[in-house]
Amino acid sequence: MKRPRSKADKQARLQQILSILDDLYPNVTCALHHTNAWELLVATILSAQCTDERVNKVTPGLFAKYPTIQDFAAVRPEVLAVDVHSTGFFNNKAKSIVGAAQKILGEFGGEIPRDIETLLTVPGAARKTANVVLGTAFGIASGVVVDTHVGRIAHRLDLTREEVPVKVERDLMAILPKERWISFSHQLIHFGRQTCVARKPKCGECRMEELCYAEDKEA
């Protein structure tokens, strides 16, 4: 496919992409298992440099051992690090989770902040994590979650030419309707796991093939 030049052509192509994603993943949601906003925050912190599948194996036992935010605030980071060891970077993650629990209890009455600027002050809650929690737990479209899948596929589909996540997010927020910010990320993550796989994209069976002009498309 040739690259669209006019703004109208670019918008029409984007709508085709969104339509395909809606058809493929109509009711998609966050892949991290959780029952409340605090559990989602913990799971998202653990997901850094780790697969959601691994996190979902760790969190049931973790939340059974520490059922409340108060329990997480009381545990020593070096103890929690043992519990989350298999997710990698366990010392930093444990320190962030304990720090997050203590700050949320001490400054926010045990409630997860519902605005991104405040949530970003919580240990472990960088922009991606904050967007995940606000979007999934509260339905608040604070931004677009940009993980490795979203950044890679947005680049392949020429929705951005940036590499830095915050700049990719800025570009996506500029072209996507705000009501799509939350669902778009979930859809692209699933698409990246199932079809547009990083090591060997399944271009031959991809419904985006005619809309994609990535130079490294597979035959």
Sign of CA dihedral 137, 170, 129, 87: positive
Given 147, 171, 178, 202, the catalytic residue? 147
Q: For this structure, is 128 an active site residue?
A: yes
Reported residue count of the chain is: 219
**Other C-beta atoms within 10 Å of 127: how many?**
18
The two structure tokens encoding residue 34: 């959780």
Distance CA 52, CA 125 (A): 17
Residue tagged 């947005």 (tokens):
154
Q: For this structure, is 147 an active site residue?
A: yes
Given 65, 95, 103, 128, the catalytic residue? 128
Give me the torsion for CA of 140, 141, 147, 149, rounded to 10°: 120
Active site residues: 128, 147
